[in-house]
Amino acid sequence: MNKLSNRICERYEPTIGVDFTIKTIQCISNEKEETVRIHVWDTSGEERYDKITRSYFRGAHSFAIMFNINQIESFEKCKKIINEINEIAYGNPAVILIGNQIGQSREVSFDEAVEFAYQHDIAYYEVSGDMTDAEIYLRKLVQLIFINQENE
């Protein structure tokens, strides 16, 4: 099941170019519960789509950078993405790093990922392959957006 769009997925299919969904979640802002509507743009990590995906970085308020902990190449791409965010995105977007596919054979250690996140002043989380906790991290991103807006 795709936890962001509540669609049943029989098999994993990688993102081609850009995928889009809208998610409504409940969050706490200034000690009160608010309903927030989020536009989620899932951009492909493949180089051939770089020009397309970079165009979506400009107006974004937040980024969830996901990599496969079982593939060092996936983790290495995170460095490039962070640099692109710093170069292209406006203002001070909220950013989190998510290691996906926990419970399998790791190529990226937890400590290595945490150190990378620390160096870039971003939070790090790990999730299982089924993304059962995807909405939790969307809430965390929205809370970071609220904090960033309060600090501007």
Q: What is the DSSP-derived secondary structure letter of residue 22? A: E
SS3 content of the chain, % helix, strand, coil (to 5): 35, 30, 35
> Tell me: the pLDDT tens digits for 27-71?
776 677 878 777 777 665 566 656 666 676 777 788 888 888 998
The arithmetic mean of pLDDT across residues 105-121, rounded, is 94
> pLDDT > 90: what percent of the chain?
16
More confident residue, 25 or 109: 109
The distance of Cα 42 from the centroid of its chain, to the nearest Å, equals 9
Distance CA 36, CA 42 (A): 18
Count the neighbouring beta carbons within 10 Å of the beta carbon of residue 81: 21
Separation between Cα atoms, residue 67 and residue 75, nearest integer Å: 6
Fold of the domain spanning 18-151:
Rossmann fold (3.40.50)
